[in-house]
Amino acid sequence: MNMKNIFIVTFLLFLFSCAGEQANTDSSLQALKHKKDSLKGIHASISAQIAELDKLIQEKDTSKRLSIVSTYEVQPGTFAHFVEVYGKVEADKSITIYPETSGIIEKIAVREGEKVKKGQLLLSIDADVLRQNMQEVNTQYELANTVYERQAKLWEKNIGSEIQLLESKARRDALASQRAALQSRINMANVTAPFDGVVDEIFPKTGEMAMPQQALVRLINLDKIYIKSDVSESHLGSIRKGSKVNIEFPSLKKEYESEVEHVGQYIDPNNRTFDVQVKVPNEDKLIKPNLLAKIRIQDQIVKDTAISIPNRMILQNTEGDDYVMLLEEDSTVRKQIIKVGSSYKDKTLVLGGLDKEDRIIDKGARSIREGQKVQVQ
């Protein structure tokens, strides 16, 4: 204890002693109150002096413990922001084939999983009645055609009437049309593949009745597939054809890089979204229609010059301003207001307030104050 403190303590003890003696000799209430007020004033003065001394001691004490912090050095780089949505896989050629005519299924010419070529027979429907009708019409047509040809020869010789010639021609042409219609219906009985693909599923069995509303075969071509997804209209101005995309298939545990192939021009009024289609590489044919996909569409990128920092370093004051705590060269702390942009995952783009090689306090930033000296771990 230094001499100044000894003097203060001694002076206090003397005052208390005098106050005690005076209290014993002076019993008046007014005198007691007066002495009490005097002691209060002296006590307040001494307390203020002690606080000032404590402050001076703290400033000069080099052995005191400093708050330990860690720092993060600002370095420009590339910042990319992505829109994350879900979508499903669709095939460019994926159809369910329905019959164009009714009848008993006579033959199924393929099996499920079989690769087929365009025009290859898939199944046939019994068309015996149509073929019999075709024979009758063919006989009638041949007769009508013979009559017409003879009538035409007679007309060339000015024999017969023009009406007879026209009637025979009309009869022949009507039968020709009827024959073509029957042939078309007979052809419909043979269901063929409209494109190269794989027979995914055959619905009926041989001997069952085929009806126009009944599905026959599902045919799929996986050479060209895409992901279709609905994206919020708020991203309409930042997503365009050619935007980079990262595709993740949770079921397959596979990821691919691709790009936006098509951006829809229509906003759905029910959910305020627009359609986006993304190309999908499928050389191994593992990706199937309706498979769920998670896609990340790049809607912003700042190359090389972007300043981005971890989200945990950004603090906010009571006015709503974003700020960070910077470490100065003399190990003191300075509060720096910053302007932030978009965030993605654990980083935020800083638009203003930070410079290259600024040292941001990371761990311990929430427990220190501006102007305080700290120790870097």
* pLDDT (tens digit per residue) in 280-327: 988 888 899 999 999 999 999 999 999 999 999 999 999 999 999 999
Q: Which of 127-136, 247-256, 270-279 has the lowest mean pLDDT?
A: 127-136
Kindly report, residue by residue over 318-352, the tens digit of the pLDDT: 999 999 999 999 999 999 999 999 999 999 999 99
pLDDT of residue 191: 92
- Please say if the pLDDT value at position 68 is more than 70: yes
Tokens 């000799």 sit on residue:
25
d(CA 23, CA 290): 98
- Please say if the pLDDT value at position 3 is more than 90: no
DSSP character string of 297-356: EEEEEEEEEE-EEEGGG-EE-TTS-EEEEEEPTTSBEEEEE-EEEEEETTEEEEEES--T
- Please say if the pLDDT value at position 159 is more than 50: yes
Percent residues over pLDDT 90 in the chain: 54
Instruction: Give the residue from 334, 339, 338 showing the smallest Cα distance to 368.
Output: 334
Q: Which of 88-102, 141-155, 210-224 has the lowest mean pLDDT?
A: 141-155
d(CA 187, CA 121): 11
Kindly report, residue by residue over 26-61, the tens digit of the pLDDT: 457 777 777 787 788 788 888 788 878 766 766 666
pLDDT of residue 15: 52
Number of helices and strands (H, E) in the chain? 4, 22
- What letters, b where the CB count within 10 A reaches 16 and e where it falls short, cover 343-361? ebeebbbbeebbeeebbbb
What are residue 72's DSSP bridge partners?
360
pLDDT of residue 239: 94
